[in-house]
């Protein structure tokens, strides 16, 4: 079976501190849950409960406000004991409801009533997905209902792309979820295909994951629309939007298939869609990869949304030594966490803690002009020249034209022998210029 890949740049990325991807373990329920009112790209959800109120598991506690905003639900039963605010590393402020665990669970360990969805209209399916606050869990947190709404006026065919490309080892939680919940992911595909009036489903997998792809397609059973499987390269950043679309367009051209508008979604999002529509269940927990060189026992964990990151690290044995950096997401593109009381949210696919030697901050030296960064850039820009421009005393307010093409994959930083902060310098300067 032919393997499709983007043509230029990229890296083979591995990390021995990533948790094994054979299975998951369930984290303890937190005594105090910190439920942020921003777990999406848009405006803060408007709180509908106050300090002192009792809440049920799965109860609405924050109502989304407009495009980009999503409903927020309590992930545990209990009582709202206070509200908190904190400033994240990027300078953004978030605030949250703190819920003390009390009372009985209505979903955990209970028989779940199954709601048939096959006779529901696309509009009704979209309404349910919006009601239960389903967002793109592997990406920016864009509400899935907004994504579906944007397809209503599409004149071209619409293709659902199941993004199972594991080019970054820190996606191990998504891989484990895909294995353990293959039936839910597959049925989530069928639900989204109906809700978005899709013309085709395409499962894109890393080249070594044919067995996983066959499992997903078999779980889908007979569908009303065609289902294809594409094997993609495993070089990072194959799963990025631009590189993924390059692969899809090449496949479509070779097989004379008009893919039209592409909607890529990952396994965690599709499983959440399944739970919302079939069980009337919001996103209560998240598969999270917990690891890094500072963690004693890296593992993939099923964690309740609102669990504090410090508690997760403690369940993994704590730190082997004082970490130099703690972050959320992949170390390649992840953000720094400044407080261990910060909670897991809907988009938290990984959290990590790394020692001094693994951060890339130690030993930063002057650029030696080796050109390694240029050779791995999938966009074909010159990170070295752009970085030097940001440091020049004569630079203007805006960056040179091609800087905007940088999508921040971080390949240049990984290979730089001088450990220069190429990615973040280019992105910050480009944003400043805009």
Q: Which of 373, 375, 399 is closest to 384 using CA atoms?
A: 373
Annotate the chain with three-state secondary structure: CCEECCCCCCECCCCCCCCCCCCEEECCCCCEEEEECCCCCCCCCEECCCCCCEECCCCEEEECCCCCCCCEECCCCEEEEEEEEEECCCCCEEEEEEEEECCCCCCCCCCCCCCCCCCCCHHHHHHHHHHCCCECCCCCCCEHHHHHHCCCCCCCCEEEEEEECCCCHHHHHHHHHHHHCHHHHHHHHHHHHHHCCCCEEEEEEECCCHHHHHHHHHHHCCCCCCEEEEEECCCECCCCHHHHHHHHHHHHHHCCCCCCEEEEECHHHHHHHHHHHHHCCCCCEEEEEEECCCECCCEEEEEECCCEHHHHHHHCCCECCCCCEEEECCCCCCEECCCCCCECCCCCCEEEEECHHHCCCCCCCCCCCCCHHHHHCCCCCCHHHHHHHHHCCCCCCCCCHHHHHCCCCCHHHHHCCCCCCHHHHHHHHHHHHC
Assigned domain for 174 exists: yes
**Pairing mode, strands 3-4 and 227-232:** parallel
Instruction: Provide the pLDDT confidence category of residue 333 given band limits of 50, 70 and 90.
Output: confident
Assigned domain for 195 exists: yes
Whole-model pTM: value is: 0.92
How far is residue 285's CA from residue 280's CA, in Å, rounded to a whole number? 14
Q: Which of 279, 303, 333 finishes a domain?
A: 279
Write out pLDDT tens, residues 35-76.
Answer: 999 999 999 999 999 999 999 999 999 999 999 999 999 999
Rg of the chain over CA atoms, in angstroms?
22
Range of the domain at 380: 372-433
Sheet holding 325-328, edge to edge: 24-26, 299-304, 285-291, 350-354, 325-328, 335-336
Q: Which of 279, 308, 342 finishes a domain?
A: 279
How far is residue 326's CA from residue 88's CA, in Å, rounded to a whole number? 13
As a whole number, mean pLDDT of residues 100-126 equals 89
Average pLDDT, the chain: 91
pLDDT for 360: 47
Assigned domain for 308 exists: no
Task: Please state the domain count of the chain.
Answer: 2
How far is residue 375's CA from residue 369's CA, in Å, rounded to a whole number? 12
Of 86-90, 272-276, 302-306, 421-425, the poorest mean pLDDT is in 86-90
**Pairing mode, strands 285-291 and 350-354:** parallel
Do 275 and 376 lie in one domain? The reply is no
Do 123 and 256 lie in one domain? The reply is yes
How far is residue 220's CA from residue 242's CA, in Å, rounded to a whole number? 27
Do 266 and 139 lie in one domain? The reply is yes
Q: Which of 103-112, 191-200, 418-427 has the highest mean pLDDT?
A: 191-200
Percentage above 90 pLDDT, the chain: 73
Assigned domain for 213 exists: yes
Do 127 and 245 lie in one domain? The reply is yes
pLDDT at 101 over 80: yes
Do 377 and 253 lie in one domain? The reply is no
The DSSP output letter for 304 is E
Assigned domain for 364 exists: no
Assigned domain for 341 exists: no
Do 387 and 244 lie in one domain? The reply is no
Assigned domain for 28 exists: no
Percentage above 70 pLDDT, the chain: 94
Vertex 201: Cα angle to 247 and 270 (nearest 5): 100
Q: Which of 253, 279, 305 finishes a domain?
A: 279
Assigned domain for 346 exists: no
Do 261 and 409 lie in one domain? The reply is no
pLDDT at 25 over 80: yes
pLDDT for 149: 93
pLDDT for 356: 72
pLDDT at 114 over 50: yes
Q: What's 202's domain CATH number?
A: 3.40.50.11540
């Amino acid at each position: 079976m032919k393997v499709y890949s983007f043509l230029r740049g990229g890296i083979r990325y591995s990390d021995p501190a990533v948790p094994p991807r054979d299975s998951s373990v369930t984290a303890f329920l937190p005594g105090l849950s910190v439920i942020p009112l921003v777990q999406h790209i848009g405006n803060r959800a408007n709180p509908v409960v106050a300090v002192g109120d009792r809440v049920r598991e799965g109860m609405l506690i924050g109502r989304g406000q407009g495009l980009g905003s999503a409903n927020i639900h309590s992930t545990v039963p209990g009582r709202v004991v206070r509200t908190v605010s904190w400033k994240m590393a990027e300078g953004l402020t978030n605030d949250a409801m703190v819920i003390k665990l009390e009372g009985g669970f209505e979903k955990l360990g209970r028989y779940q009533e199954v709601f048939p969805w096959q006779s529901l209209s696309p509009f009704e399916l979209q309404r349910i997905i919006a009601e239960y606050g389903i967002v793109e869990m592997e990406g920016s947190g864009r509400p899935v209902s907004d994504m579906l709404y944007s397809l209503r006026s599409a004149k071209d065919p619409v293709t659902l792309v199941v993004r199972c490309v594991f080019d970054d080892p820190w996606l191990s939680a998504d891989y484990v979820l895909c294995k353990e919940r293959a039936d839910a992911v597959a049925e989530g595909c069928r639900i989204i295909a109906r809700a978005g009036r899709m013309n085709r489903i395409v499962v894109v997998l890393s080249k070594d994951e044919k067995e996983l792809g066959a499992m997903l397609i078999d779980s889908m059973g007979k569908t009303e629309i065609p289902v294809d499987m594409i094997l993609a390269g495993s070089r990072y950043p194959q799963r990025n939007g631009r590189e993924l679309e390059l692969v899809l367009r090449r496949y479509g051209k070779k097989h004379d298939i008009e893919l039209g508008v592409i909607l890529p979604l990952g396994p965690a999002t599709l499983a959440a869609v399944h739970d919302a529509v079939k069980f009337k269940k919001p996103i209560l927990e998240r598969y999270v990869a917990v690891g890094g060189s500072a963690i004693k026992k890296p593992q993939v964990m099923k964690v309740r949304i609102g669990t504090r990151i410090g508690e997760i690290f403690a369940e993994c044995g704590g730190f082997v030594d004082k970490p130099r950096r703690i972050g959320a997401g992949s170390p390649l593109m992840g953000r720094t966490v400044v407080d261990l009381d910060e909670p897991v949210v809907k988009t938290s696919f990984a959290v990590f803690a790394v020692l001094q030697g693994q951060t890339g901050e130690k030993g930063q030296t002057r650029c030696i002009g080796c050109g390694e960064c240029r050779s791995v850039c999938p966009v074909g820009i010159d990170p070295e020249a752009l970085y030097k421009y940001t440091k020049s005393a004569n630079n203007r307010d805006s960056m040179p034209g091609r800087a905007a093409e940088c999508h921040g994959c971080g390949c240049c930083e990984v290979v730089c022998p001088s450990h220069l902060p190429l990615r973040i310098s280019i992105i910050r300067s480009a944003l400043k210029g805009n």
